[in-house]
């Protein structure tokens, strides 16, 4: 079964904690992306990576960090510096480095307690 | 900079009637345009895309979209709506000068199909 997996589905964090969201793909895609979704605001790009060991900040990178050590994996860490982290986080991947169809994982809902 | 506008937060339509969800865009150069659908607490599912060629693009589940360069629009359409089409729809745009494969998404339009 090919696709993108995200874990966990639900995540609860206490204030001041860092948490890491997992994203794995077996589609052999070069590019991977992290988006944040809030009601009424659509999707906002946090970070993206077009190749292993390289990544760029998106529109709302502050308080987040990523790594891309393997082609298949693009974990996102939500740090304590992110002031309002409660949101739905979506990971996506695409085959090429030109605008192309992005395929999305099922999402992780993060709630800060 | 590239941008997308979805002017309607919600569209209501009766089952069996045609539906249209509007999208206008702004991008440098030729646009790469996409429509996605999202069901509650799920990821986005790809519906269709326009890159080049025919202005009328056909996609999944009977949806189609019409690219209009002069009006910079890419409206999503379906001839006969189903209750199961009720979901959140996103339009997205990318361009070769926009920074690789970055897509910019609209704020979404909630489609409600009623019996």
Token pair in block for residue A28: 């052999």
Characterise A10 by phi-psi region: left (phi > 0), alpha (psi -120 to 50), beta (else): beta
Please tell me the distance in Å from B80's CA to the nearest CA on chain A. 26
Task: State the pLDDT at residue A97.
Answer: 72
Distance CA A66, CA A55 (A): 8
State pLDDT tens for residues A63-89: 999 999 999 999 999 998 888 999 999
Of B52 and A91, more confident: A91
C-alpha dihedral (B88, A35, B43, B69), degrees to nearest 10: 50
Intervals of chain B under pLDDT 70: 97-100
Say yes or no for a CB contact (<8 Å) between A98 and B108: no
Characterise B41 by phi-psi region: left (phi > 0), alpha (psi -120 to 50), beta (else): left
Residue A109: its chain B contacts at CB < 8 A? 41
> What is the interface size between A and B, counted as CB pairs within 8 Å?
67
Which residues of B sit within 8 Å Cβ distance of A?
9, 32, 34, 36, 41-46, 49, 51, 90, 94-96, 98-103, 105-108
Task: State the pLDDT at residue B98.
Answer: 53
Q: Does the pLDDT of residue A1 top 90, yes or no?
A: no
Task: State the pLDDT at residue B100.
Answer: 66
Of A61 and B97, more confident: A61
């Amino acid at each position: 079964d090919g696709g993108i997996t995200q874990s966990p589905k639900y995540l609860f964090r206490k204030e001041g904690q860092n948490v890491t969201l997992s994203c794995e793909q077996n589609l052999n895609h070069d590019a991977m992306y992290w988006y944040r979704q809030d009601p009424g605001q659509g999707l906002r790009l946090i970070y993206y990576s077009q190749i292993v060991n390289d990544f760029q900040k998106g529109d709302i990178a502050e308080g987040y960090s990523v790594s891309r050590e393997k082609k298949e994996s693009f974990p996102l860490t939500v740090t304590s510096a992110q002031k309002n982290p409660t949101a739905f986080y979506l990971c996506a991947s695409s085959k090429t480095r030109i605008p192309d169809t992005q395929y999305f994982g099922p999402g992780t809902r993060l709630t800060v307690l | 900079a590239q941008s997308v506008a979805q002017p309607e937060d919600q569209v209501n339509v009766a089952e069996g009637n045609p539906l249209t969800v509007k999208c206008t865009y702004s991008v440098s150069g030729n646009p790469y345009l996409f429509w996605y659908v999202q069901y509650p607490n799920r990821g986005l599912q790809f519906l269709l895309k326009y890159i080049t060629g025919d202005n009328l693009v056909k996609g999944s589940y009977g949806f189609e979209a019409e690219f209009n360069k002069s009006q910079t629009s890419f409206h999503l359409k379906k001839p006969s709506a189903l209750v199961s089409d009720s979901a959140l729809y996103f339009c997205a745009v990318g361009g070769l000068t926009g920074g690789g494969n970055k897509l910019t998404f609209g704020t979404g339009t909630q489609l409600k199909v009623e019996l």
